Structure 1
């Protein structure tokens, strides 16, 4: 994957499960995008639910803790849970397959813009987020 420049300053970079997994694996493209976000002063955010989805026994504990120390982990509130359910309904989606995507979308919607999500699921995230965020496929 070629290195992409995301214009602007500040804002927020959100990692979905695949984005976080690739960051943990030190994928060059994702590392470059995270570094670029840091250089432009963007918040680097992950939903607490994403931690559960991305974690597995093959991750070295030291790497896990280091990566998480670099991110702002957002908890899921009751309010955001309801908003995620509403997003799913409006997008015509339902069930566990889309639940964490909806949580990531709500997390993104509540962050200062411009907001960029690194995701492996551009189609579903586009249905959930609409024009409110920029999606970067990883």
Structure 2
């Protein structure tokens, strides 16, 4: 059975990094989502995780202007704690950002498609509650 069409597209840090580097495949994916009215979401934490000293600041601002940057909420922090616990007691130090981004992905309209380079982490944290596509 085919997975239902996504109502939200979430980028992890690798997805955002690819956009910042003007990766053609990532740009094509984002534009395809936009054409069918699927919002492209990124956590404010993902922005911090993806940016480095060589990031072009003007490009960063332009890319972010075309995405929906989601704030981290108190509820997200509690959901992240629960996700870490349910995933077998993963430690917040190593998985904190992934868990908080996963919490955000679970609160936005679903079905949610996550573009990530960390399939294993997302599977541990969300199980089958999100669709995962490798980048």
TM-score scaled by length of structure 1: 0.90
User: Are residue 136 (structure 1) and residue 133 (structure 2) matched?
Assistant: yes
Compute the displacement of 1:72 (Å).
0.7
In structure 1, stretches of 5+ residues that fail to align are: 1-5
RMSD (CA atoms): 1.4
**Cα offsets for 1:20-64 (capped at 9, x unmatched):** 001111112211111111011001100111111111121111100
Instruction: Quote the Cα distance in structure 1 between the aligned partners of 2:93 and 2:51.
Output: 17
User: Are residue 40 (structure 1) and residue 73 (structure 2) matched?
Assistant: no
User: Are residue 117 (structure 1) and residue 114 (structure 2) matched?
Assistant: yes
Out of 61, 73, 93, the residue aligned to residue 57 of structure 2 is: 61
Whether the aligned pair in 1 keeps the contact of 2:4 and 2:111 (CA below 8 Å) is: no
Compute the displacement of 1:132 (Å).
1.2
Instruction: Quote the Cα distance in structure 1 between the aligned partners of 2:132 and 2:93.
Output: 22
Whether the aligned pair in 1 keeps the contact of 2:8 and 2:108 (CA below 8 Å) is: yes
TM-score scaled by length of structure 2: 0.92
Look up the SS of the partner of 1:132 in the other structure: coil
